[in-house]
Amino acid sequence: MSSNLYPAFGVLLVDDEASFLRSFSLILETQGGINHLYQCQDSRDAMQVIVENPIGLVLLDLTMPHLSGEALLQQIVEEHPDIGVIIISGLNQLETAVNCIRLGAYDYFIKTTEENRLLDGIHRAIRMQEMRLENLEMRRRFLSDTLDRPEVFADIITRDKGMRSVFQYLETVSASSQPVLITGESGTGKEAIARAIHTLSGRRGPLVCVNVAGLDDNIFADTLFGHQRGAFTGADKARAGMIDQAGGGTLLLDEIGDLSLASQVKLLRLLQEGEYYPLGSDRPKRIHARVLVATHQDLDQKQRDGEFRKDLYYRLRTHQVELPPLRQRQGDIPLLLDHFLAEAAEDLGRSKPPVPKELVALLRNYAFPGNVRELRALCFDALGRHRGSVLSMDVFRQAVGQEGAILESEADPAMPLFAPDQPLPTLQEVADMLVAEAMERAQGNQSRASRLLGISQPALSKRLKKSQS
């Protein structure tokens, strides 16, 4: 998109009074943040405007010459049933309102109604249309199993079906202005997902990331909203907040689960009203950035425990993606291993060494508490220590061994050998792991290792050569 339009679909204003069209358009833009607007002063032209433009919502007057609002409402409902219609009339008549709702109008407002109530109703209708369009788009994508813009996700190394479903969902909600809640364990790639959402949205402003963990209420407000000169001691000059810096782009609030209750109130007001006050200012400013939030914590549990506001939680989870941990993406381990080793080799100015086959089997049975970030760190550490021809497994064995020691000390004796919710390793993978463990215990002595395994030394030697080829 060349500019940030809200909503993604057009809102058509139909009224025979030119002065009302001008003033109402100004209110929608300045107070409602609604700038994807079309105007029609002659009701006879409205259907043509709908055909020629991506209209999703019509704000319709009732009393107009030539073609009445009720007649136009019936035409829109019959020919374009997917378009929402809100009646905004000068008539305060219950019977007329009831009849319009019966004909298919989404809502009915009186022109003299206070502006906030009218804007709230229009925003509700926009959200309903956004959800309907997203559901249709989601159904289309899942049935066809396609990605329209796979290049956006090129930096996220995966062939996992669960991650592909996440990508399809993100393409579906990318045009929405509503917040997105990104959840997942530490190291699963939440910031990479935020970058993908920002790119998909086509917003012209930047992606601005703020880690809110540890910010008290005053620092949070100053960081987000900025301040005027003289707002507090030491405020020698005005400073723009992160919302201003994000401009018409995207604002990511990371570690949102650590936000204090007082700051949660400020964030809720920002999302509900779409405006904020810089510290020391009595003039509100509108937010033009889309808000994304990320956390590794269970917000559902936190709101049940009273540590996170329910109203904010439900506002944030309008759109939600949960990233699977690496232990649930075992098919991605070989891809990520190869990618990170190549990245480390380039960074260190070295060639990428061959990888022993048993390494993948070893890693597939590791819990990876640090997820993708941990695997990347292990690859860089292993290549930094590499001295031989084939990549040493020592760094990886040490990580797996430490985790194994923790699990062993805490394990229930009745616990099954393999987790029931995880795929079983193949016989070949188990055999490779046994060989690697035997060689580790025998300190590289093949004769001793073969006795531990109960096979001949030539058989072990043949297996080792095969795994390294």
3-state secondary structure the chain: CCCCCCCCCEEEEECCCHHHHHHHHHHHHHCCCCCCEEEECCHHHHHHHHHHCCEEEEEECCCCCCCCHHHHHHHHHHHCCCCEEEEEECCCCHHHHHHHHHHCCCEEEECCCCHHHHHHHHHHHHHHHHHHHHHHHHHHHHHHCCCCCHHHHCCCCCCCHHHHHHHHHHHHHCCCCCCEEEECCCCCCHHHHHHHHHHHHCCCCCEEEEECCCCCHHHHHHHHHEECCCCCCCCCCCEECHHHHHCCCEEEEECHHHCCHHHHHHHHHHHHHCEECCECCCCCEECCCEEEEEECCCHHHHHHCCCCCHHHHHHHCCEEEECCCHHHCHHHHHHHHHHHHHHHHHHHCCCCCCCCHHHHHHHHCCCCCCHHHHHHHHHHHHHHHCCCCCCCCHHHHHHHHHHHHHHHHHCCCCCCCCCCCCCCCCHHHHHHHHHHHHHHHCCCCHHHHHHHHCCCHHHHHHHHHHHHC
| pLDDT at residue number 340 | 96
| pLDDT at residue number 414 | 52
82 pLDDT above the threshold of 80: yes
Pairing of strands 10-14, 37-40: parallel
Lowest mean pLDDT across 83-97, 192-206, 320-334, 396-410? 396-410
447 pLDDT above the threshold of 90: no
337 pLDDT above the threshold of 90: yes
Ramachandran angles phi, psi of 181, nearest 5° = -95, 120
| pLDDT at residue number 416 | 58
What is the C-alpha separation between 107 and 119, in angstroms, rounded? 12
| pLDDT at residue number 377 | 95
The model's pLDDT over 24-50, given as tens digits with 9 standing for 90+, comes to 999 999 888 899 999 999 999 999 999
| pLDDT at residue number 108 | 92
The model's pLDDT over 259-318, given as tens digits with 9 standing for 90+, comes to 999 999 999 999 988 889 999 988 889 899 999 999 999 999 999 999 999 999 999 998
User: Who has greater pLDDT, 371 or 465?
Assistant: 371
Give me the mean pLDDT over the 50-68 stretch.
93
What is the C-alpha separation between 433 and 440, in angstroms, rounded? 10
User: Who has greater pLDDT, 414 or 282?
Assistant: 282
Lowest mean pLDDT across 10-19, 221-230, 243-252, 353-362? 353-362
User: Who has greater pLDDT, 463 or 85?
Assistant: 85
**pLDDT mean across residues, the chain:** 88
- Phi-psi domain of 283 (left: phi exceeds 0; alpha: psi -120 through 50; beta: other): beta
| pLDDT at residue number 417 | 60
- Assign 407 a pLDDT band (cuts: 50, 70, 90): very low
454 pLDDT above the threshold of 60: yes
CA distances from 128 to 35, 83, 208, 381 (A): 18, 11, 28, 50
Q: How many CB atoms lie within 10 A of CB 54?
A: 11
405 pLDDT above the threshold of 70: no
| Beta carbons of 147 and 174 less than 8 angstroms apart | no
137 pLDDT above the threshold of 90: no
148 pLDDT above the threshold of 70: yes
Pairing of strands 275-276, 285-286: antiparallel
Which residue's entry shows tokens 């905004």? 88
| pLDDT at residue number 35 | 92
Ramachandran angles phi, psi of 435, nearest 5° = -60, -45
Paired tokens of 230: 């003289």
Contacts (Cβ under 8 Å, ≥6 apart) of 328: 162, 422
Please report the domains of the chain, with CATH numbers, ordered by start residue.
Answer: 10-132 (3.40.50.2300), 145-324 (3.40.50.300), 326-415 (1.10.8.60), 426-469 (1.10.10)
Q: What's this model's pTM, rounded to 2 decimal places?
A: 0.71
Cα angle 426-427-428, degrees, rounded to a multiple of 5? 90
15 pLDDT above the threshold of 80: yes
433 CB-contact burial (10 Å; exposed 0-12 / middle 13-18 / buried 19+): middle
- Phi-psi domain of 173 (left: phi exceeds 0; alpha: psi -120 through 50; beta: other): alpha
435 pLDDT above the threshold of 80: yes
The model's pLDDT over 301-326, given as tens digits with 9 standing for 90+, comes to 999 999 999 999 999 998 999 999 99
154 pLDDT above the threshold of 50: yes
